Structure 1
Amino acid sequence: MGKPTGFMDYKRQELALRPPQERIKDWEEIKTSSLPHKEELQKQAARCMDCGIPFCHSGVMLGKALSGCPLHNLMPEFNDFVYQGLDHFAYARLNKTNNFPEFTSHVCPAPCEGACSASLAGSAVSIRNLEQYIIETAFAEGYVKPNKPAHRSGQKVAVIGSGPAGLACADQLNKAGHSVTVYERADRAGGLLMYGIPNMKLDKHLVERRIKLLEEAGVTFELNSEIGHKISSETLLKQFDAIALCTGSTVPRDLTIPGRELQGIHFAKDYLHSVTKSFLDSSLQDKKAVSAKGKDVIVIGGGDTGTDCVATAIRQGCRSVKQIEIMPCLPHSRTADNPWPEMPRVFKTDYGQEEAFELYHQDPRDYCIMSKEFIGKNGKVDKLRLCQIDWQKEAGRLIPVEIAGTEQIVSAQLVLLAMGFIGTETQLFDEFKFARSEANTIAANDNDYMTSIPGIFAAGDARRGQSLVVWAIAEGRGAAAAIDKYLTAVK
């Protein structure tokens, strides 16, 4: 440990965000363009206590709650290297466990910080910010190189899906010497990293930079290649020695209430995809994006995707934006059933809500709200009937009960459904005929990631359901190890 009293000597410092009134005028990164001075980052790294038993990299489930990093990143070690000014060593240590720190340092909710021992005595070490410093310094100094294998095994693997799980799986298999082809149905690689997260939250040049590195290392990308359309499962099974299914959990939860057929009601993933594609294709000049301009926007769902919808609608020039959530507001501090080192389930204000408050002078979120009916005008949604609910326990389960006299009708010319995802698309099951889990995901065990069909593996959200980017990378790495073991045994 570089400085035993660092966590007492220095206060936690976050990377600065651009002022809301400035950043809502463009689609660039919400973070400032430059990292703090190296000396300041070294102070932040000095706050790491190098605990006797560090929980930050445990990556275990405590009941239903995650504790620490699923990638088992060695935070105390790379923090110490940053403190000592040994940036090359810090990158080498981070690169041992995390294929894409440039992604996690932008979009991961940092369960490592939730498990940081320093948070028991004050505030956690700013691990995510230090990750960003390490990887961006590594790129700037030329430490990051294509991972070209010394020898090729002669065996071929198809990876279906180019999200974080697919990219991590492809990277690991390529390092092991196998020839990897990644199939992506969209026109750009990256999956949710490319089209599921807005540019201001994850600049797409970061994704493109990593894709280029993978290509230089020998990974082949086949775009506009949906399985079952451009290429069949039979062809893949003939051409490849193993297949990794990393297609995500992409079936959105719907809201089947009266008026659902009206125009102007969109799934959040389709809305965000349309805006990002239009932004990348034409700087939004092709007018192909679903537009919130001049409209009253209602976002149904209180998670990160809902926040992204709020921020996107603001940049498009919406007249107003409201985010409603059927669940109660989270507490402002840990409760007894959410102790350290579990990932904290506490109230937070993210960038989208901060921007809405700046514009409209009030928090856009409202809790314990249930949608009852979409009301139309000329075939398009125009209003939304809502009511407040109370969560009551019945037969051991919590159920929402409408509170009498709370019904209201609010203006809404654009409604975005951001209520999460409920499984993997059925087309894959129809194509490959493998077993399905009770959660409507691909059934594959935790040990070897193999489906009910030998040689076909599954990883990421397609296997475990909707989860974090860091979990997807961990799953991709785990599946790659299992596939390499399988191919070695076959050979």
Structure 2
Amino acid sequence: MGKPTGFLEYKREAPPKRDPFERTKNWQEFQIHLPEKTLQEQGGRCMDCAIPFCQAGTDMIGSGEIGCPVHNLIPEWNELVYRGKWKEALARLHKTNNFPEFTGRVCPAPCEGSCTVAIDADAVTIKSLEYHIVERGFNEGWIKANPPLKRTGKTVAVIGSGPAGLAAAAQLNKAGHLVTVFEREDRIGGLLTYGIPDVKLAYSIVERRVQLLKEEGITFRVNIEIGKDVHAAELEEQFDAVILATGSTKPREVDHEGRELDGIHYAMDFLTANTKSLLNSNHQDENYISAKGKHVIVIGGGDTGADCITTSIRHGAATVTQFDINKQKGFEREVNNAWPLFPIIHTTEDAHKEAKAVYGKDPRAYKLQTKRFISNDNGQLVGVETIEVKTEWVEGQKVRTEIPNTEKTWEADLVLLAIGFSGPEKELLAQLNVATTSRQTVAADYGTYQTSKEGVFAAGDNRRGQSLVVWAIHEGREAARECDRFLMGTTRLP
């Protein structure tokens, strides 16, 4: 323990961020680095408690998650930061997480919700320290390609280059296998590249790590969709094993009146086109869905919806409103959401702060169910009709009841559907003859990741369902371990 009284002496100090209004004028990351002395003090706040729930990584207890899914050795690298041993801290961080530069930017930090200090004070700034450790590693030149000393001769195809696919590929390559990653988009990264706005996770950060993976011997093939450009049977003939890391990419649909109107788009189509145009031409090709001058309605209260807000503001939207079907959460934990569960409380994300800075108010509206999309005489989208709903749990089922006389019409000429995903796309699974579950996810048990087809493994959102980047990394690592065991009869991968 670096500083026994650190959590008493030092207050939590999270990294400052650029002004919410000013940062909406560009697509640059806006977190500001803290001085080294401050970071060391923040590391000294860690209690090194006897049971570090922060790194527990328990999937579910009751109705919530606990700690870090990749089991980051948080107290260890907190102490090393406090003592100024940054290189050693980086080694401990990389021991459990292949890509801390991703999670240090976009993870919601369930570890902090399970921090022992957070019982009655502000949690340790774990996410911030993770970010600063890995960025210092890159700046100091400590992070270099480290290819395996020998090869096994075994070949593995990884389908999908999101966080699960990249983590699986990195681990299998360390074991000495010859790994090829197939990506149907024109750039590597999956949702890291095209699902998260550049302002939150710049493509240059993804590209930096991918270049290291290439130098370590991993082969990447873009613009190839397995199941369409290459038949799955052909892939099985060429490789000794296959890992499916295709994500949960089938968007959930709505059937409201007027759904067919122009101006209604899936959130991921909006975000993907935006980033692709930004990277290709700095938006000069105009090959994206522009929110400029439009009244934007984002349907869905989650992170993807917030990303749509961030993007719409930077386009120059006239107004942005986010519909959440649930009521506003409280500012304190509920009785059934006690520490060390991930805290389900009201938070104001960066996107909401930006919207308030630009438009003068928080963009969120709660307890709203969409009734229909409204068009004018020319068939153009001009509005959305909603009604307020009450949500209750009845015999374990969520029941929503409309509240009479609460109908409202909202002006809108761009609607973005950010209501989640219904599972992976089925064409590839059918070609592989892989079984699915009642939830439409790939049937593969947690811990083994083996599908119904021998030698074919699944990891990430296509197996688990829509989840966090950090869970995808965890499953990619574990699926690699089980794939290595299948190929070699034993494994040394964690």
TM-score (structure 2 length as normaliser) = 0.97
RMSD: 1.2
1:374 aligns with 2:377: no
Could you tell me which of 26, 40, 43 is aligned with 1:42?
A: 40
1:268 maps to what in 2?
267
Tell me how far apart the structure 1 counterparts of residues 69 and 411 of structure 2 sit (CA, whole Å). Answer: 42
373-382 or 173-182, larger mean C-alpha shift: 373-382
Task: Report the CA distance between 1:392 and its aligned residue.
Answer: 4.3
Give the stretch that moved more between structures: 383-392 or 142-151.
383-392
Determine the structure 2 residue equivalent to 1:388. 388
Query: Within 2, Cα distance between the matches of 1:73 and 1:40?
Result: 22
Q: Residue 31 of structure 2 aligns with which residue?
A: 31
Aligned to 2:475: 475
Aligned to 2:249: 250
- Matching of residue 464 in structure 1 with residue 464 in structure 2: yes
Q: Which residue is 2:161 aligned to?
A: 162
- 8 Å Cα contact 2:104/2:128 also seen in 1: yes
Consecutive aligned runs of 4 or more in structure 1 exceeding 4 Å deviation: 392-396
User: What is the aligned partner in structure 2 of residue 283 from structure 1?
Assistant: 282
> What is the CA–CA distance in structure 2 between the aligned matches of 1:449 and 1:392, rounded to whole Å?
35
Identity %: 51
Please name the residue that 2:112 is paired with: 113
- Could you tell me which residue of structure 1 aligns to residue 12 of structure 2? 12
The Cα shift of 1:447 comes to 3.0
Q: Deviations over 1:387-416 (max 9, x none)?
A: 111224556644222211111111110000
Q: What's the counterpart of residue 69 of structure 2? A: 70
What residue number does 2:174 align with?
175
Residue aligning to 1:153? 152
Q: Cα offset for 1:87?
A: 0.6
The AA in structure 1 aligned to 2:384 is: L
Matches within 5 A, 1:80-229: 80-229=79-228
Aligned amino acid, residue 304 of structure 1: D
Distance (whole Å) between structure 1 residues aligned to residue 396 and residue 96 of structure 2: 42
Tell me by how many angstroms 1:431 deviates.
1.6
Task: Say if 1:58 and 1:149 are closer, same or farther in 2 by CA, change over 3 A.
Answer: same
Q: Against the structure 1 CA distance between its residues 169 and 397, is the aligned structure 2 distance closer, same or farther, given a 3 Å change threshold?
A: closer
Query: Which residue number in structure 2 is paired with residue 439 of structure 1?
Result: 439
**1:138-185: CA deviations, max 9, x gaps?**
111111111300000001000000000000000000000000000000
3-state SS in 1 of match to 2:96? coil
Conserved 8 A contact 2:257-2:373 = yes
Amino acid at match of 2:407: E
- Residue 98 of structure 1 and its aligned partner are, at CA, apart by 0.3
Within the candidate set 45, 52, 56, 1:58 is matched to: 56
CA positional deviation for 1:96: 0.3
- Segments of structure 1 that go 5 or more residues without pairing to the other structure are none
Q: Which amino acid aligns with 1:54?
A: P
Task: Give, in whole Å, the separation in 2 of the partners of 1:96 and 1:246.
Answer: 22
Distance 2:180 2:451 in 1: 20
Q: Report the AA paired with residue 2 of structure 1.
A: G
Matches of 1:370 and 1:249, distance apart in 2: 24
Task: State how far apart, in whole Å, the 2-side matches of 1:244 and 1:395 are.
Answer: 38
Deviation at residue 230 of structure 1 after TM alignment = 1.6
Q: CA deviation at 1:379?
A: 3.0
1:292-441 residue pairs with structure 2 within 5 A? 292-377=291-376, 378-392=378-392, 394=394, 397-441=397-441
- State the TM-score, normalizing by the size of structure 1: 0.98
Tell me the number of residue pairs that the alignment of Structure 1 and Structure 2 aligns: 489
8 Å CA contact 2:183–2:225 kept in 1: the answer is yes
Deviation at 1:433, TM superposition (A): 1.1
- Aligned equivalents of 1:97, 1:218: Cα separation in 2: 21
Aligned mates of 1:73, 1:394 — CA distance in 2: 38
CA distance in 1, matches of 2:117, 2:124: 7
Q: Distance in 2 between matches of 1:284 and 1:192?
A: 20
Over residues 162-211 of structure 1, what are the superposed CA-to-partner deviations in whole Å (9 max), with x where a residue is unaligned?
00000000000000000000000000000000000000111111000011
Aligned partners of 2:56 and 2:75: how far apart in 1? 12
Give SS of 2:410's match. strand
Per-residue CA distance 1:227-256 (angstroms, 9 max, x = gap): 122211111100000000000011111111
Do the aligned partners of residues 135 and 394 (structure 1) sit closer, same or farther apart at CA in structure 2, a change above 3 Å counting? Answer: closer
Amino acid paired to 1:457: F
Q: What is the identity, as a one-letter code, of the residue corresponding to 1:438?
A: S
Say which SS state the counterpart of residue 96 (structure 1) adopts.
helix
CA distance in 1, matches of 2:215, 2:332: 46
Aligned partner of 1:22 in structure 2 is 22
Letter in 1 for 2:41: K
**Which whole-Å CA distance do the structure 1 matches of 2:146 and 2:345 have between them?**
39
**CA distance in 2: counterparts of 1:490 and 1:95, whole angstroms:** 23
Letter in 2 for 1:27: W
- Residue 442 of structure 1 and its aligned partner are, at CA, apart by 0.6
Distance 1:15-1:215 versus aligned 2 partners, 3 A rule: same
Whether the aligned pair in 1 keeps the contact of 2:375 and 2:381 (CA below 8 Å) is: yes
The separation in 1 between residues aligned to 2:231 and 2:380, in whole angstroms, is 38
Q: 2:151 and 2:96 mapped to 1: Cα distance?
A: 23
| Structure 1 CA distance for aligned equivalents of residues 93 and 415 of structure 2 | 41
**Structure 2 counterpart of 1:260, one-letter code:** R
**Comparing 167-176 with 329-338, which one deviates more in the overlay?**
329-338
CA distance in 2, matches of 1:136, 1:433: 43
The DSSP-based 3-state class of the residue aligned with 2:357 is helix
Q: CA 1:177–1:305 in 2, change beyond 3 Å: closer, same or farther?
A: same
More off after superposition, 104-113 vs 399-408 = 399-408
Moved more, 397-406 or 61-70: 397-406
Q: Offset of 1:365 from its aligned partner?
A: 0.3
**CA 1:457–1:283: 2 relative to 1, 3 Å:** same
Match of 2:489 in 1: 489
What one-letter code is carried by the residue in structure 1 that aligns with 2:6? G
